[in-house]
């Protein structure tokens, strides 16, 4: 399944209660509009990002800290560095510095903080906003942090690795949740998927450069 700019215009994907056609059947996607004052954490993006990491929602710890992936049990920043995405291991307080390494951050739900992604309601998702963000920033890869955001976005059975779905020209990759208490995976297994995503994004960057 490929979501195109034509889909956005013709299917009105940025409105509430939109439907997206997929392989001759329709499934509902909750499209929510939120005022900027409702957003708990702003997106960390620019036009130069290569990989956009997307989680289901920020946690209460991140809301209190004002930074992404601020839970003590979350390995996100260590995984990024160990996989080769960043030149050094950052802390949540330095999340905006990820831009320098071509990494962007956002969430499917921008207005509700939850400890367990499964507690989100369909009305909490800002799917249309995410689609628009991807078309504006044009990353090579949209990396979904955990299987739950993949299921929330595509309404399809989740699996880790490269996906056949795309958003415009952006490829989709799913990694285990960086919080091991949510993913149930070992650090080593999670790191393998992060390394695969890094290699995949590097290959796409080379293809895009024409080298």
Q: 205, 204, 143: which is closest to 176 by C-alpha?
A: 143
Per-residue pLDDT of 162-191, as tens digits, reads 999 999 999 999 999 999 988 999 999 999
Q: 97, 84, 4: which is closest to 44 by C-alpha?
A: 97
- Who's near 188: CB < 8 A, 6+ residues apart? none
For position 7, what pLDDT does the model report?
52
Return the CATH fold of 2-209.
Answer: Uracil-DNA Glycosylase, subunit E (3.40.470)
Put simply, whether the predicted model's pTM sits higher than 0.75 gets the answer: yes
Task: Encode burial over 109-124: b for 16+ CB neighbours within 10 A, e otherwise.
Answer: bbbbbbeebeebeeeb
CB-CB contact of 209 with 101 (8 Å): no
| CA of residue 203 relative to chain centroid, distance | 19
Confidence of residue 31 (pLDDT cuts 50, 70, 90): very low
Q: How far apart are CA 173 and CA 161, in angstroms?
A: 5
Q: How far apart are CA 116 and CA 173, in angstroms?
A: 21
């Amino acid at each position: 399944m490929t979501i195109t700019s034509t889909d956005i215009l013709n299917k009105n994907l940025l409105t509430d209660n939109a439907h997206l056609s997929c392989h001759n059947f329709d499934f509902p996607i909750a499209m929510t509009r939120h005022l900027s004052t409702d957003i708990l954490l702003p997106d960390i993006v620019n036009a130069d990002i290569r990989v956009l990491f997307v989680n289901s929602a920020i946690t209460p710890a991140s809301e209190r800290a004002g930074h992404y992936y601020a839970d003590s049990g979350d390995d996100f920043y260590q995984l990024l560095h160990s996989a080769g995405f960043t030149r050094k291991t950052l802390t949540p307080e330095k999340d905006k510095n990820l831009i320098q390494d071509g990494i962007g951050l956002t969430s499917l739900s921008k207005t509700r903080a939850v400890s367990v992604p499964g507690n989100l309601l369909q009305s909490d998702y800002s799917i249309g906003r995410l689609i628009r963000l991807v078309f504006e920033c044009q990353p090579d890869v949209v990396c979904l942090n955990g299987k739950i955001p993949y299921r929330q976005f595509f309404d399809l059975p989740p699996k880790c690795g490269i996906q056949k779905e795309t958003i415009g020209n952006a490829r989709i990759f799913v990694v285990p949740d960086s919080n091991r208490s949510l993913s149930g995976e070992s650090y080593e297994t999670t790191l393998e998927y992060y390394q695969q995503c890094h290699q995949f994004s590097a290959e796409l960057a080379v293809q895009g450069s024409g080298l």
